[in-house]
Chains A and B, each alone.
Chain A
Amino acid sequence: MQILFYYLLFNLAFFGDVANDPAHEAWQGRSAARQFECERISQAKAHEKYPGVVPAPHPRAATLYEIDAMVCDRFVVEAGRRSAQKEAILQNLHADIDELVAVASAPKTIALNTDPNAERKSVRFKVDAFYPDLVMTQKIANAAKVALAERGHQVSDATWQLTAGDIEVFRSMHMRDALPLACKRAYRLKSLADDEVFVALALLHEKESQLHVGTCQRGVFQWLR
């Protein structure tokens, strides 16, 4: 009996490993475990990132076997606090916007509508987002502006200006059709100059969670993705 007692007591120390595992659902339930994003990385990389937690790999032992580290980070905002659609867009906002902006500012894209001999740097970008929620609209537009500026492009904080009547008409249309029409109208109203490219980031369907990008230049709008 005593041996069993000491055996269990001794094992308590090892249970700590499992109890400290943030991705283990046995101790906290599935919903709590889902609050973590985990990735498996090598011990060397883990030591580089977390020197106080993961020891450096032993040079001789490293040749015999590989030790991995499971790195778990908690989501900054708990699941359920934001709508699923917003969460899906915001979760990868940086990567997604970077990708869309890369497409929108690619020399090929711009060359479609401008003088092919013109230098890319001479184009000035104006950006706006079209999303049912105002806060999200600002977030998306800001992310795109910063991403474009970080890529070395000239970016203006201004956007196109349309009349209240125009907006009323465009609001009644589907986004896919409204933006090309708004592009023509803005160019006619001289709200967009010849050397300006308007980048529109929009949600085309009410329930989708993937942003689309299109550019407007000299009154011609093209959906890029």
Chain B
Amino acid sequence: MRLNILLVDDSLIIRTMIARTIEMAGIPTGRVYHAQNGLDALDTMRNNWIDLVFADINMPVMDGVEMIEKMAADEALSQIPVIVVSTEGSETKIDRLWRNGIRAFVRKPFTPETIRDAVRMVLGEWDMEEAGNGFKTGAF
């Protein structure tokens, strides 16, 4: 199964880094969508099938916290897992994100291993050898 992924960050270089890291981690991707802020991301989620969201917190227009709150309040979006990738270092703020339903938190700077581990935590284990570079579909 290939995952449709949405990358939400106001920095193109970070979105490119995450996309590259996902590829390096052997996570099978279908379509990779990009959004520069929470508002664009909500629009993309409402108009496309998204399996997994990687989102920053500090963004212009609509930040990641508000986006996650709006996703939680929307029945159609509330089940999409969100992995937050941020420089955020405040435990208080990170605790609030967990309470709002995020599924994993990755601190910038990140390594391919931390991204892979976060995806594994959210979607379950996958067998790299069996699937070549893919997930076990049992996770879904």
A and B associate in one complex: no
Measuring CB to CB, which residues of chain A are less than 8 angstroms from any residue of chain B? none
